[in-house]
Structure 1
Amino acid sequence: MADSPPRFITPQGFARIRAEYDELFGVERPKLVETIAWAASNGDRSENGDYIYGRKRLREIDRRLGYLGKVMKTAKVVDPAAQASRDQVRFGATVELADEDDQRRVVTIVGDDEGDASAGRIGWSAPIARALIGAKVGDERIVRLPSGEKSYEIVEIRYAALS
């Protein structure tokens, strides 16, 4: 059995996952179990929408809880604010990039489980993040994207606590 790569995550990303787990396990799941029990007590389950939907939703929640539990168990929390080497792009870096047309873009390299491209958070195994790792201000990196290759210059690198 091969070791899986480390599952890096920021402290804030871990806290979000923990909060979702706690909400599902401590609040949503118990309410749903109560609704299913009530619906089951109403007799015929074959045409009981509350019962059928409740069981389906319960399976979804249990799957999500299993996934979140696995993420938390294998996560390696890395605080970007504690990054020692601040002159290179590493996990947790917020990087300002400029493309060939001087279009600016700011991305933060985070764990794959907390990536959100629309918010500028890029999972560390994404093509753009892999291309940026190790780069310094002034370096140019070519990123291979589905739409083709794109060249970026690193304008600024900073490490701070993420929100």
Structure 2
Amino acid sequence: MKTNLITREGLDKLNKELNYLWREYRPEITQKVTWAASLGDRSENADYKENKRLLRQIDSRVRFLRKRIEAVKVIEYSPQQDGKVFFGAWVEIENDDGETKRFKIVGPDEIYGRNDYVSIDAPMARALLKKEVDDEAVVKTPTGDQTWYVNNISYQNPKVDNG
């Protein structure tokens, strides 16, 4: 079961995708379908078949996005979160081997195409919730428990220079 939490940035991205699909991509493909249909015999018309397939995919994604956007709850940053790991936090962790990882804890809709985002539903995120710097988090994995230590917690992306 997916958590219905999302960051403001994540919601903006879903809305942007929906607008693009509905206002730009779908009309473009609809035009191609109309053009291909005007050529006559549709049974052997690859353009027609391919663009009809694309239209079905677009419509399916649009329906999904509309339902998802209604279902999600935006979690805004709150100063009370400072010093602890909560939704929306950038976390840096380290294990006993000195291996470090840095990622942001986000909603399940936001992780695609990002290797520095971890879903709030993931065992790693669950193990880190409410932890503070220097706390130990035990993450249950298929290969056994892994211990990680919290090095840093931030609610702004530390890689972005705000100066």
Q: TM-score, normalised by structure 2?
A: 0.90
Say if 2:3 and 2:121, in contact at 8 Å, map to a contact too: no
**Partners of 1:14 and 1:85 in 2: how far apart?**
21
**Partners of 1:42 and 1:5 in 2: how far apart?**
45
**Partners of 1:83 and 1:103 in 2: how far apart?**
30
Judge which range, 70-79 or 21-30, deviates more: 70-79
Corresponding residue number in structure 2 for 1:41: 38
Corresponding residue number in structure 1 for 2:135: 139
Q: TM-score, normalised by structure 1?
A: 0.90
**Partners of 1:39 and 1:70 in 2: how far apart?**
31
Q: Is 1:98 matched up with 2:89?
A: no
Say if 2:2 and 2:121, in contact at 8 Å, map to a contact too: no
Corresponding residue number in structure 2 for 1:87: 83
Q: Give ranges in structure 1 of 5+ residues lacking alignment.
A: none
- In the TM superposition, residue 6 of structure 1 has moved relative to its aligned partner by 5.2
| Divergent runs of 4+, >6 A | none
Say if 1:97 and 1:105, in contact at 8 Å, map to a contact too: yes
The SS at the match of 1:122 is strand
Q: Residue type matched to 2:57 in 1? A: E
Q: Give ranges in structure 2 of 5+ residues lacking alignment.
A: none
Corresponding residue number in structure 2 for 1:31: 28
Corresponding residue number in structure 2 for 1:63: 60
**Partners of 1:152 and 1:42 in 2: how far apart?**
62
Say if 1:6 and 1:76, in contact at 8 Å, map to a contact too: no
Percent sequence identity over aligned pairs: 34
Find the partner of 2:155 among 141, 154, 159: 159
**Partners of 2:14 and 2:107 in 1: how far apart?**
12
Q: Residue type matched to 2:119 in 1? A: G
**Partners of 1:116 and 1:152 in 2: how far apart?**
24
C-alpha RMSD of matched pairs (Å) = 2.0
Number of equivalences: 159
